[in-house]
Amino acid sequence: LAKTTQPISMDSYEGQEVNITCSHNNIATNDYITWYQQFPSQGPRFIIQGYKTKVTNEVASLFIPADRKSSTLSLPRVSLSDTAVYYCLVGTGNNDMRFGAGTRLTVKP
């Protein structure tokens, strides 16, 4: 399983774009990159998944460089309600889900 490294915490202000980077230097050829969001007292929520280049949905964008050794979750114009823990996971369908410590994002007014 590819190990992931994320910043422990980040602060931002409402209306700003937030970029959270995840390092996964030993990502395997078949591995996908998936991001989850978890609010206090709730289960994690799937945000976005990608394999290479860029993926965008209504919530976020995921940027993956050509070497795939890192990825960046981009949250446009965050609001207070985006305060949560964000997890980066890397693996294939045959592997279990290993959540790291995640990045605690705090959005301030």
Partner 1 sequence: DTAVSQTPKYLVTQMGNDKSIKCEQNLGHDTMYWYKQDSKKFLKIMFSYNNKELIINETVPNRFSPKSPDKAHLNLHINSLELGDSAVYFCASSYLGTSAFYEQYFGPGTRLTVT
Candidates 3, 54, 77, 98; binder of partner 1 (CB under 8 A) is 98
| Cα–Cα distance for residue pair 76/63, rounded to 1 Å | 13
In the 8-state DSSP scheme, what is residue 5? B
Residue with tokens 């799937």: 46
Binding of partner 1 at residue 41 (CB under 8 A)? yes
Name the token pair of 9: 């915490």
| Cα–Cα distance for residue pair 23/37, rounded to 1 Å | 17
Binding of partner 1 at residue 39 (CB under 8 A)? no
Candidates 89, 103, 105, 107; binder of partner 1 (CB under 8 A) is 89
Q: Return residues touching partner 1 (CB under 8 A).
A: 30, 32, 34, 38, 41-46, 49, 51, 85, 87, 89, 91-94, 96-99, 101-102
